[in-house]
Amino acid sequence: MTSKMPKIHELSEALTNQIAAGEVIERPASVVKELVENSIDAGASRIRIDFMDAGLKQIVVQDNGTGIARDQIDLAFTRHATSKINNERDLFNVSTLGFRGEALASISAVAHVEMITAAADEIGTKAVFVGGNKKTEEDAAARKGTKITVKDLFLNTPARLKYLRSPRTEMMKIVDIVNRISLGYPQISFTLSNAGKVLLRTPGNGNLAQTVANVYGRHIAEKMIPFKNADSDFQVSGLMSRPELTRSTRNFISILLNGRYIRNFRLNTAIMEGYGSKLTARHYPVVVVAIKVDPLLVDVNVHPTKQEVRLSKEKELSRLITAAISDNLISHPEQSDAFANLKTNRQETLVDQLKFNLNQNVVNTTRQPTPEIHEKVTPTELTPKKAKTKYVDLSIPREDDRYVITTTWADNIAKQTQLTPFGKGKSDKEVISTGDETLATSLPELQYLGQTKTYIIAEDNGDLFLIDQLAARRRLTYEKIYQTLLEKKIVQQGLLTPLVLEFGNLDFLQIKSKIDEIKKIGIFLEDFGQDSFIMRSYPTWIHGDVEGSVRKILDSYLTFAHQTETTLFAKIAALQARKEITGHVDLSAGENVSLLADLRKSSDPYHDADGKVVLVRISQNDLRKMFKKDE
């Protein structure tokens, strides 16, 4: 039995409108984007957005633009009716944000829409649309401009609701799109509120730095530097963060083409190439790039949401952006390159240390990654101190080098068999890998000899050891803080003057969602309004600059959002150790002896928390070769 092919028929207007809405209106944030862009095209200088229940219950966008004449309202809600293009030539010279004539028609197809609008010197009009059809139209008292209220989004397409994410995620999408639009139009004052609570307010004075401060917070804005570049086709300008200020995703990179927020992989890559090696892997800067270009070089008609565009001379623009950022970093050389902290160097160091201990690589050298820190600290130089300890005469040949295969080799193998995974006495909670465990237990009991300005000098059976005092102190500080965080036995110290910490709206919302997790490390934050927290005490494991430390720690919760608790604690401890131990200090002989003893007890005496080498060894044989004793 053969089945007949269904007859071809024309879809109803209501169904075609719902299909079109599926292309343009993906979520509540799409409604906000389309309505705000219409307000900008209408010449508004003030735009207010308010929403409830993540935008599903209600979205209100009000502006002071030109308004819509009464006889134009029906056309405004008709598909492919627009005032922004007239012919094919205009389609390739689009200078407005909207031009397809789909926004209001698509929104009204899936929600209740109420518009109150008034053009200059005209009586206002109120019109209500449901399911794409006009229900009422009447006179209304209104100032020049337009107010659109969208209620019960997706009321007639409930299947769309299952594709939405959590209310918090949808709210963050709305905040994100308004943030980016406001960065593209610093000359317009934006106010965004959720059920009456203000999430964003920009001054609208044309100052991009002030707009960035309102969007991302003053603390971030202070660490951003302006840049600009131009050629015969493009003008590039904006603000970029210093290399030490990074995020774990590209979400804080905003590319604005003639004011329009766009997504473009090649331009994102150009920004990262501008930073070069000053950023480590999987860390991204905070950048706002404003690009001005002749609309003839841009095709914005390649995607319904207009966030993806086609650019002529994209390669030339990429080079211009890369040059602008790299040249700017050269003129602000506060941050050194990141090559010194590459993971490959740390892993090679581990292998070298294992060879130094056993002279053969006989254990698993896989190493758990330790925290990476992206902050430059310049050590303070110290005055050399003479030591009174008697020196060993190293010119006398000694034949007891135990780091080659001798009778002690069997003892070394016996020690290994007691380690994980061979030994039975180790706790499953220990996080030291087999290789690290071997290193930690193989450090001999060093005899202190003296110190230079930077290094502690020690020996063991004729082998000479140089210990970087700064790295050793950081290792010990890291372990102390990390253990305190793990045990959660945190003592509080009250502040005479409570700290008020201001953040950008997105950062504020993310930190607020993690406030219970943050309490576990002893930082207690209270919502103080206007995207700020108040802190009345601090944990005693924080020393020195309390506000600076707390901001860095909170930034860790933003940057390392998906880390396990123990990994996050390790990163915080490493960060604080680096911030707290910033230079060499003048230690007495007794203090140096205690430091060496504590270092030997640590989980990894060979590296600080950043993976930098703590000590090096010059064997007795190496010393003999240096002094040509065997010739």
What is the pLDDT averaged over residues 92-103?
A: 56
Helix axes 28-41 and 167-184, enclosed angle (nearest 10): 20
Q: What is the pLDDT of residue 563?
A: 74
- Note the pLDDT tens digit of each residue in 25-71: 888 998 999 899 989 988 999 999 999 999 999 999 999 999 988 88
Query: Which single residue is written with the structure tokens 């530097």?
Result: 225
* Cβ-contact 357, 438 below 8 angstroms: yes
Q: Is 379 helix (H, G, I), strand (E, B) or coil?
A: coil
| Of residues 206 and 368, more confidently modeled | 206
What is the pLDDT averaged over residues 517-539?
A: 91
Q: What is the DSSP string of 66-95?
A: ----GGGHHHHTSTT--SS--SHHHHTS--
Please identify, in words, the CATH class of the domain defined by 447-616: alpha beta
pLDDT of 79 higher than 50: yes
pLDDT of 409 higher than 50: yes
Q: What is the pLDDT of residue 482?
A: 92
CATH 3.40.1080.20, domain 223-331, yes or no: no
pLDDT of 6 higher than 80: no
Q: What is the pLDDT of residue 116?
A: 93
Q: What is the DSSP string of 526-550?
A: EE-SSSEEEEEEEETT--S-HHHHH
Residue 389 to residue 395: CA distance in whole angstroms = 18
Q: What is the pLDDT of residue 361?
A: 36
- Note the pLDDT tens digit of each residue in 301-360: 555 555 667 788 888 999 999 999 988 888 775 544 433 333 334 444 444 444 444 443
* Cβ-contact 460, 444 below 8 angstroms: yes
The DSSP code for 124 is: E
Q: What is the pLDDT of residue 90?
A: 47
Q: What is the pLDDT of residue 52?
A: 93
Q: What is the pLDDT of residue 71?
A: 85
Q: What is the largest CA-CA distance in the chain?
A: 108
Residues 6+ apart with CB under 8 A from 489: none
Instruction: Give the pLDDT band of residue 475 (cuts 50, 70, 90).
Output: very high
The DSSP code for 147 is: E
Quick check: pTM over 0.75?
no
Task: Please tell me the CATH superfamily of domain 13-202, with its number.
Answer: Histidine kinase-like ATPase, C-terminal domain (3.30.565.10)
* Cβ-contact 606, 474 below 8 angstroms: no
Q: Determine which helix (DSSP H) or strand (DSSP E) holds 493, and give its type and residue range.
A: strand 492-502
| Ramachandran quadrant class, 504 (left: phi over 0; alpha: psi -120 to 50; beta: rest) | beta
pLDDT of 629 higher than 90: no
What is the pLDDT averaged over residues 241-249?
A: 85
pLDDT of 22 higher than 80: no
Among 615, 600, 608, 617, CA closest to 359: 617
Residues 6+ apart with CB under 8 A from 6: none
| Of residues 508 and 387, more confidently modeled | 508
Q: Is 430 helix (H, G, I), strand (E, B) or coil?
A: coil
Q: What is the pLDDT of residue 416?
A: 56
* Whether residue 421 has a cis bond before it, omega within 30° of 0: yes
Average pLDDT of the residues of the chain: 78
What percentage of the chain has pLDDT greater than the value 70?
A: 73
Q: What is the pLDDT of residue 417?
A: 56
What is the pLDDT averaged over residues 368-392?
A: 44
What is the pLDDT averaged over residues 235-245?
A: 91
Residue 160 to residue 607: CA distance in whole angstroms = 53
Starting from the edge strand earliest in sequence, which strands make up the sheet with 133-140, in order?
133-140, 124-130, 112-118, 145-151, 58-63, 46-52, 189-194, 197-201
Residue-range domain boundaries for the chain: 13-202, 223-331, 447-616
Copy the structure tokens of residue 527.
Answer: 């919502």
Lowest mean pLDDT among 224-238, 259-273, 363-377: 363-377
Q: What is the pLDDT of residue 378?
A: 44
